[in-house]
């Protein structure tokens, strides 16, 4: 039997290393309230039948949510994302994820807490 190694671009984790997996595992245990709320709505293929993973390692990052089939990253931004330096890091990270062929959509904590139906609708629009 011949095994073909998956390319970095087609793997679920885009070459993430062990420390990133360990960080993801820790973050799954310490999800924020908005992350838990969104997770309760998307886990177990609840959103259009798509599998969405939480605190998922991709390359050098842990993204909040990821749908591999749709190549979609979903980020929930807290208050610290209003800080200019954090916004610049977010832009750089988004650009790197885009270079991997991934689409990134962002929501604020308050959007998830106050209007989960709108958030789910906007995510659905990005799922083929």
Helix/strand/coil for 101: coil
Please write the tens of the pLDDT for every residue from 94-104.
999 999 999 99
* Whole-structure pTM value: 0.90
pLDDT band of 1, cuts 50, 70, 90: very low
How many CB atoms lie under 10 A from the CB of residue 96? Answer: 16
Contact between 63 and 94 under an 8 Å Cβ cutoff? The reply is no
Please write the tens of the pLDDT for every residue from 62-106.
999 999 999 999 999 988 878 889 899 999 999 999 999 999 999
Q: Give domain limits for the chain.
A: 32-124
Please write the tens of the pLDDT for every residue from 34-46.
999 999 999 999 9
Architecture of domain 32-124: 3-Layer(aba) Sandwich (3.40)
């Amino acid at each position: 039997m011949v095994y073909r190694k998956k390319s970095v671009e087609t793997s679920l984790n885009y070459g993430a290393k062990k420390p990133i997996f360990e960080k993801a595992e820790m973050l799954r245990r310490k999800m924020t309230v908005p992350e838990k709320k969104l997770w309760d709505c998307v886990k177990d293929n609840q959103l259009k039948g798509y599998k969405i993973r939480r605190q998922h390692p991709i390359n050098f990052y842990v993204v909040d949510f990821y749908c591999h089939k749709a190549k979609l990253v979903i980020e929930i931004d807290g208050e610290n994302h209003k800080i200019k330096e954090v916004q610049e890091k977010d832009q750089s990270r988004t650009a790197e994820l885009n270079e991997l062929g991934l689409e990134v959509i962002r929501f604020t904590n308050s959007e998830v807490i106050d209007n989960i139906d709108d958030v789910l609708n906007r995510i659905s629009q990005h799922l083929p």
